[in-house]
């Protein structure tokens, strides 16, 4: 996510802004910028690291006491100096920084272009500064009134900071669905995306609520709702240090990112369905593929993303009755795959930089396949190599073990499969119900996270175990694979995943008293069979954790977790969240380094 920081007070703004932005570097970013306000606005922007920005600025020439700073995590518009924030209006009298997504930016941009506004960037954020400028001219040159008018035109999520030469000692902050915190001390007033960036100045913090506008000046902070009604500003003492602030008060980035999943799924789905629940995916509409001549679809990735590939493959093959193959990228290149101009290859990669996956893209392109990237990083290598790219909007994933990236990959794969099925003139069973269930997934995951204490209790079974086995059928199989991977990569407990039906063909020889078996049964057509497989392990003394949404009497002899109701096609999302928690609490109980497990890298850029 983008990083925001701002200061106005008796001190110089520049030093505070730079240290605040550096505190926010952990959020991940691709460009940075600063605006200082005196008699005029001075704005610097740089692609890359904050050090690039510092090279552009001579602090001795920056006496200003008011300013805003931004680190950009690109969502609309590739990383570049032009797309970096702050964005200024045409006469450089207003400057804004933004974190979030303006959903209706195209509509606003068309309207503003029609009024003669000229845009310098490809971003959604730039529409905000020109909209404010337009409102300011029509609101008696009252900035607060202009903001109240502008904010009612914005749809989507935003944390906005605005500075202006019309009022050079103030910063205006506006908040809806993206975090924004304020601080105050004898030296002035502060704002930032999270408290980390404020601690150098103050520990008296106020977290803005949705629908609020704050006016920061040297000696006070005034708070209003979007309709101009005053709201009491209540500050509290912030007890955490900087590192725990980056983790949002959680013990690790992984735990924070597990809990960010409702928001990440909401952001990934944002703008994907119109008012009639029709899917919006222009990236695929513009692919220029002859769908009637399509013979097969490959889903290609590594690690966790490969597990998502299996999910996407299974879902699409059922609905579209076209040959679908899920393959690990590291094998794809060496198997002389059947890939040609009648093939669509979908590459899934959180980082967009995994060497094996990029190599697979090159092979697919050599063979004239259509290529689509599904990635979490805008402007990543894979997005520049493929014919089209669809993005998850999980925000930076800091922990090495993937959590929110995985569940948002599953969500985006549902959307992608729906779009491909539409192009192939196929229809998902109960499609309307599926879309409704998809849109309520954030709430489903919120309910799932309420079960974490149960998973913490069940993790005690694993802390002293050397081995664990995960079993599932159909869409429960990628969940079993992902659960096993999570457990082994952060707790170092050896874990294997099997098709439940395969257990009796050998692996059941491994089951002995106290062996832990995690059985996942959320797919109604095969749940009873998985239930039988589970009982075969119980008969040999296994300790079973049973994840299901089916009615069962298994609670008499197994530890049963029922996932919140959702369509079975989507059950792998809450099930994955439970298994993330199981792995997390096992690793925590073993005292492992959860965010940085031994031997692992966040992005494997070597083959």
Nearest CB to ligand AGP, comparing residues 197 and 305: 305
Give the whole-angstrom CA distance, residue 66 versus residue 17. 10
Give the whole-angstrom CA distance, residue 291 versus residue 293. 5
Cβ–Cβ under 8 Å, residues 60 and 68: no
DSSP state string for 61-114: G---SEEEEEEE--SSS-S-TTTSSPEE-TTSSEEEEEEEEETTHHHHHHHHHH
Q: Whole-angstrom distance between the N-terminal and C-terminal Cα of the chain?
A: 29
Angle at 324 between CA 318 and CA 326, to 5 degrees: 115
Nearest CB to ligand AGP, comparing residues 8 and 409: 409
Name residues whose C-beta falls within 8 Å of residue 38's C-beta, 6 or more positions apart in sequence: 63, 64, 168
Give the whole-angstrom CA distance, residue 474 versus residue 323. 16
Query: For 24, which DSSP code?
Result: T
Q: Given the rule CB under 6 A, which of 28-36, 99-107, 111-119, 343-351 is the region that contacts ligand AGP? A: 343-351
Q: What 3-state DSSP class applies to 286?
A: coil
Beta bridge partners of 399: none
Cβ–Cβ under 8 Å, residues 356 and 607: yes
Residue 61 burial by Cβ neighbours in a 10 Å radius (0-12, 13-18, 19+)? exposed
Dihedral sign from CA coordinates of 553, 555, 559, 564:
positive
The size of the interface with ligand AGP (CB under 6 A), counted in residues, is: 15
DSSP state string for 387-412: SEEEE-------SSS-SHHHHHHHHH
Give the active site residue among 145, 365, 447, 602: 602
| Length in residues, the chain | 607
Nearest CB to ligand AGP, comparing residues 253 and 428: 253
Give the active site residue among 2, 23, 161, 324: 2
Give the whole-angstrom CA distance, residue 494 versus residue 156. 43
Q: What are phi and psi of 243, to 5 degrees?
A: -60, -45
Asked if 345 is an active-site residue, the reply is: no
Cβ–Cβ under 8 Å, residues 11 and 55: no
On the CB side of 394, how many CA atoms lie within 13 Å of its CA?
29
Nearest CB to ligand AGP, comparing residues 299 and 531: 299
Interface with ligand AGP (CB under 6 A), residue from 8, 83, 255, 402: 402
As measured in angstroms, the least distance from the Cβ of 365 to ligand AGP is 18
Binding status of residue 416 toward ligand AGP by CB under 6 A: no
Nearest CB to ligand AGP, comparing residues 407 and 437: 407
Report CA Rg, the chain. Answer: 26
On the CB side of 66, how many CA atoms lie within 13 Å of its CA?
24
As measured in angstroms, the least distance from the Cβ of 518 to ligand AGP is 17
Asked if 602 is an active-site residue, the reply is: yes
Give the whole-angstrom CA distance, residue 589 versus residue 586. 5
Q: Restricting to residues 479-538, which ones interact with ligand AGP according to CB under 6 A?
A: 489
Q: Binding marks (x or -) toward ligand AGP, 300..339, rule CB under 6 A?
A: --xxxx----------------------------------
Q: What are phi and psi of 67, to 5 degrees?
A: -170, 165
Element of type H or E holding 230: strand 230-231
Angle at 547 between CA 541 and CA 553, to 5 degrees: 70
Q: Restricting to residues 372-401, which ones interact with ligand AGP according to CB under 6 A?
A: 400-401
Q: Binding marks (x or -) toward ligand AGP, 287..306, rule CB under 6 A?
A: ---------------xxxx-
Q: Restricting to residues 430-489, which ones interact with ligand AGP according to CB under 6 A?
A: 489
Cβ–Cβ under 8 Å, residues 545 and 458: yes
Give residue number: closest CB to ligand AGP: 303
Q: Restricting to residues 347-376, which ones interact with ligand AGP according to CB under 6 A?
A: 349-351, 354, 357
Cβ–Cβ under 8 Å, residues 315 and 416: no
Nearest CB to ligand AGP, comparing residues 74 and 526: 74
- Our measurement of the distance from residue 543's CA atom to the centroid of its chain's CA atoms, rounded to an integer in Å, reads 34
Give the whole-angstrom CA distance, residue 116 versus residue 133. 12
The binding site for ligand AGP (CB under 6 A) comprises: 302-305, 349-351, 354, 357, 400-402, 489, 603-604
Tell me which residues are annotated as active site. Answer: 2, 602
């Amino acid at each position: 996510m983008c990083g925001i920081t701002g200061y106005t007070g008796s001190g110089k703004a520049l030093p505070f802004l730079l240290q605040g932005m550096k505190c926010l570097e952990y959020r991940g970013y691709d460009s940075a910028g600063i605006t200082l306000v005196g008699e005029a606005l001075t704005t610097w922007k740089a692609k890359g690291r904050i050090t690039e920005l510092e090279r552009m600025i001579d602090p001795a020439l920056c006496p200003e006491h008011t300013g805003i700073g931004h680190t950009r995590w690109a969502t609309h518009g590739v990383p570049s100096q032009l797309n970096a924030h702050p964005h200024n209006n045409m006469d450089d009298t207003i400057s804004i920084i933004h974190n979030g997504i303006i959903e209706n930016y195209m509509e606003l941009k068309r309207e503003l272009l029609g009024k003669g506004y000229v845009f310098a960037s490809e971003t959604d954020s730039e529409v905000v500064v020109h909209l404010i400028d337009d409102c300011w001219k029509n609101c008696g040159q009252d900035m607060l009134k202009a903001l109240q008018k502008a904010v009612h035109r914005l749809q989507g999520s935003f944390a906005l900071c605005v500075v202006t030469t019309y009022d050079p000692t103030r910063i205006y902050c506006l908040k809806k669905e993206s975090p924004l915190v304020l601080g105050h001390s004898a030296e002035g007033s502060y704002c930032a995306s999270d408290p980390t960036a404020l601690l150098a100045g103050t520990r008296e913090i106020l977290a803005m609520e949705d629908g609020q506008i704050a006016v920061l000046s040297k000696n006070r902070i005034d708070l209003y709702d979007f309709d101009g009604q005053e709201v009491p500003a209540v500050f509290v003492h912030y007890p955490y240090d900087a590192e725990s602030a980056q983790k949002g008060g959680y013990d690790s980035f992984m735990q924070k990112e597990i809990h960010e999943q409702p928001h990440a799924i909401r952001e990934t789905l944002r703008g994907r369905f119109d008012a009639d629940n029709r899917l919006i995916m222009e990236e695929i509409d513009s692919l220029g593929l002859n769908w009637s001549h399509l013979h097969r679809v490959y889903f290609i990735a590594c690690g966790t993303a490969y597990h998502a590939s299996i999910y996407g493959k299974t879902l699409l093959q059922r609905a579209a009755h076209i040959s679908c193959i899920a393959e690990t990228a590291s094998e794809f290149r060496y198997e002389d795959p059947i890939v040609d101009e009648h093939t669509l290859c979908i590459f899934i990669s959180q980082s967009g930089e995994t060497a094996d996956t990029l190599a697979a893209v090159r092979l697919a392109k050599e063979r004239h396949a259509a290529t689509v990237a599904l990635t979490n990083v805008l402007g990543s290598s894979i997005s520049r190599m493929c014919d089209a790219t669809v993005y998850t909007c999980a925000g930076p994933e800091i922990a090495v073990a993937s959590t929110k990236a995985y569940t948002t990959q599953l969500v985006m794969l549902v959307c992608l499969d729906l779009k491909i099925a539409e192009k192939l003139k196929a229809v998902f069973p109960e499609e309307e119900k599926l879309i409704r269930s998809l849109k309520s997934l954030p709430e489903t995951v919120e309910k799932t996270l309420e079960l974490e204490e149960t998973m913490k209790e069940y993790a005690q079974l694993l802390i002293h175990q050397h081995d664990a086995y995960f079993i599932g059928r159909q869409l429960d199989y990628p969940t079993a694979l992902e659960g096993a991977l999570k457990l082994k990569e952060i707790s170092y407990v050896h874990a294997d995943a099997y098709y439940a039906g395969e257990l009796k063909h050998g692996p059941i020889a491994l089951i002995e008293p106290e062996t832990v078996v995690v059985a996942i049964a959320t797919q109604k057509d095969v749940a009873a069979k998985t239930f039988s497989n589970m009982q075969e392990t119980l008969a040999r003394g296994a300790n079973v954790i049973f994840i299901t949404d089916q009615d069962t009497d298994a609670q008499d002899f197994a530890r049963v977790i029922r996932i919140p109701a959702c369509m079975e096609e989507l059950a792998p999302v809450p099930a994955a969240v439970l298994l993330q928690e199981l792995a997390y609490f096992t690793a925590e109980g073993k005292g492992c380094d959860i965010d940085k497990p031994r031997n692992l890298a966040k992005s494997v850029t070597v083959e």
